[in-house]
Structure 1
Amino acid sequence: MQQEDDGLKVSVLASGSTGNCTYIETKEHHILIDAGLSGKKIEGLMASIGRDMHDVDSLFVTHEHSDHRKAVGILARRYGLDVYANQGTWDAMDGKIGKVDVAQKHILAPDSTLSLGDMDVESFSVSHDAAEPQFYAVHSGGKTFVVLTDTGYVSDHVEGVIKDADAYLMECNHDVEMLRMGSYSWPLKQRILGDTGHLSNEDGADAMMDVLGRHTKRIFLGHLSQENNMKSLAHLTVASILEDHDFGVDHDFKILDTDPEKASGLVTL
Structure 2
Amino acid sequence: MQTVMVYSEAGGVKKTTTAVSLAMVAAEGIAGTGNSTESPVPSRRVVLIDLDPRAAATKWLGITPVGDGLHVGAILGAKEDPTGWAADLAVTSRWSQNLRVIPAARELSNRESERDDYAEWRLKSSLTDLDADLVVIDCANRQGGPLTVSALHAADTVLYAATASDSGVDGVTGAKLSVAKFRHHMSQIGAVTSISEIGVAVTRDGTGFLSFSERDAIEQLRELTPIIEPIVPHLSIVPESRMAGEWFGNYRKGLAVRDSYAAIMRKVIR
Higher helix content, 1 or 2: 2
Give the alignment's TM-score, normalised by structure 1.
Answer: 0.41
Give the alignment's TM-score, normalised by structure 2.
Answer: 0.41
Which is bigger in relative contact order (C-alpha 8 A, separation at least 6)? 2
Higher strand content, 1 or 2: 1
